[in-house]
């Protein structure tokens, strides 16, 4: 974006007070454009107008529209099957619930998955799930280790396309996907830290792939709207299922002896009644990105330039030696991580200086967004140096 376009773009975020603080927190919670607030009001007005008819006349058509646009931004065809839920955890657990724990199925994953998947697999491991944790400490060897671990008998391969700790983009993802499907495993890719900021290459086996992500981070949707892309003709039967998973059969007489049925497409992985404002916000924010001509490719270009600028300023501030994220933009996604002492205290010290960032253990994460000015990035890193020196 040129200067005039950036001014117009920033004006679309008037409620988030961009001129009063520096939000290097887009990897965790990207600011909402003003249209998201307008969508919140629209939900109320449509509910007041339609009451219970809102589902057929407003919510479900909007979900269909949002689903098509989300799929395109994920790198799939708009007609593919997609399911929605309030969190990726709900969707992933529905997929996990298709496994027969009594058969002690084996899952291959990495040691660097986000907390919800890590915790859930740990817990299911207590009940018989055989989880093989592939060491992700040496990032450059991760793909080879995954390929070695994916052998016949594996039921599920689940991994992130971008690791949440340091924004590392897993290399040769297409090979991992192909190997998983070759041995007959379900393959699930967590694309949360890629959605709307990093285009992903899934390879020729993409049609049979499960991909989950959400709008809370780089998409700017806010909370409550996550999604799971589902292969065509999927016939899995989630044990964790709700009444929306076969909505059309509700009018049929109950037969306690029949086998539970599922609707086709994404509805197979649906849950139950949900809060609808996230769907309205998503439609409005997707239109916002389109209004400014910001597809995933354009957003990736902006992000790569901004993260490179952060690294350059860290080097100038003598903090580059603590960099954890890759210096190679092909291996670095939408934020920059460095290791600092007392990282949580540094986050507090930054907040006192009007800079928003976050920490995971001793890892400090800095996430830019398209609405940030270059001078704000520079000032944010300067404040970081002040904070680190003050706490040394």
Quick: pLDDT tens for 207-266.
999 999 999 999 999 999 999 999 999 999 999 999 888 876 666 777 777 888 899 899
Residue 332 pLDDT > 80: yes
pLDDT at 66: 98
Q: Which of 10, 3, 66, 4 is nearest to 33 (CA)?
A: 10
Residue-level pLDDT at 3? 85
Note the pLDDT tens digit of each residue in 99-158: 999 999 999 999 999 999 999 999 999 999 999 999 999 999 999 999 999 999 999 999
The Cα–Cα gap between 338 and 326 comes to: 10
Q: What is the mean pLDDT of the segment spanning 296-324?
A: 97
Q: Which residues face 336 on adjacent strands?
A: 366
- The full set of domain ranges for the chain reads 3-31+295-391, 37-289
- CATH of the domain spanning 3-31+295-391: 3.90.1150.10
**Do residues 219 and 249 touch, judged by C-beta distance below 8 A?**
no
The residue ranking higher by pLDDT, 245 or 346, is: 346
The predicted structure's pLDDT at residue 12: 98
pLDDT single digits (tens) 23-39: 999 999 999 999 999 99
Residue 256: alpha-carbon gap to chain centroid: 39
Contacts of 163 (CB under 8 A, 6+ apart): 110, 112, 136, 139, 170, 193
Task: Determine the Cα–Cα distance for residues 304 and 263; give it in Å rounded to an integer.
Answer: 41
> Region 177-204: what's the mean pLDDT?
97
Task: Kindly provide the b/e burial profile for residues 191-226, where b requires at least 16 CB atoms within 10 angstroms of the residue's own CB.
Answer: bbbbbbbbebebeebbeebbbbbbbbbbbbbbebbb
- Residues 63-71 have a mean pLDDT of 98
* DSSP label at residue 129: -
**H or E element, residue 90:** helix 88-96
Predicted confidence at residue 64, as pLDDT, reads 97
CATH architecture, domain 37-289 = 3-Layer(aba) Sandwich (3.40)
Strand, coil or helix: what is 355? Answer: strand
- Environment class of 330 (CB within 10 Å of its CB; exposed 0-12, middle 13-18, buried 19+): exposed
* Residues 6 or more apart whose Cβ sits within 8 Å of residue 229: 71, 74, 76, 80, 81, 82, 209, 210, 211, 212
């Amino acid at each position: 974006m040129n200067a005039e376009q950036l001014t117009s773009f920033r004006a679309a975020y008037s409620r988030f007070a961009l001129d009063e603080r520096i939000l290097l927190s887009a990897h965790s919670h990207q600011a909402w454009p003003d249209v998201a607030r307008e969508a919140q009001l629209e939900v109320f007005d449509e509910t007041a107008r339609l009451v219970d008819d809102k589902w057929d006349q407003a919510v479900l058509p909007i979900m269909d529209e949002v689903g098509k646009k989300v799929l395109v931004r994920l790198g799939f065809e708009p007609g593919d099957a997609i399911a929605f839920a309030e969190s990726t955890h709900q969707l992933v657990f529905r997929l996990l619930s298709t496994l027969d724990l009594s058969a002690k199925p084996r899952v291959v994953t990495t040691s660097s998955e986000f907390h919800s998947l890590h915790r859930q697999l740990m817990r299911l491991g207590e009940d018989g799930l055989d989880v093989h944790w592939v060491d992700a400490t040496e990032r450059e060897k991760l793909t080879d280790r995954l390929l070695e671990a994916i052998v016949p008998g594996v039921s599920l391969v689940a991994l992130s396309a971008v690791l949440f700790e340091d924004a590392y983009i897993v290399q040769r993802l297409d090979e991992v996907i192909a190997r998983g499907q070759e041995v007959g495993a379900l393959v699930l890719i967590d694309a949360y830290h890629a959605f709307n900021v990093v285009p992903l290459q899934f390879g020729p086996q993409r049609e049979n792939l499960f991909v989950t992500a959400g709008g809370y981070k780089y998409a700017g949707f806010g909370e409550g709207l996550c999604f799971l892309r589902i292969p065509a003709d999927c016939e899995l039967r989630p044990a964790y299922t709700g009444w929306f998973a076969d909505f059309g059969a509700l009018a049929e007489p109950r037969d306690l002896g029949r086998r539970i049925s599922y609707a086709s497409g994404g509805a197979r992985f649906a849950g139950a009644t949900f809060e609808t404002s996230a769907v309205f916000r998503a439609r409005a924010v997707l239109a916002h990105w389109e209004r400014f001509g910001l597809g995933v490719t354009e957003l990736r270009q902006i992000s790569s330039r901004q993260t490179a600028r952060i690294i350059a300023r860290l080097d100038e501030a003598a903090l580059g030696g603590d960099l954890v994220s890759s210096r190679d933009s092909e291996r670095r996604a939408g934020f920059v991580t460095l290791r600092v002492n007392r990282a949580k205290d540094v986050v507090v010290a930054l907040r006192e200086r009007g800079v928003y960032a976050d920490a995971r253990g001793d890892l400090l994460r800095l996430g830019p967004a398209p609405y940030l000015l270059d001078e704000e990035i520079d000032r944010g890193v300067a404040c970081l140096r002040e904070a680190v020196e003050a706490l040394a």
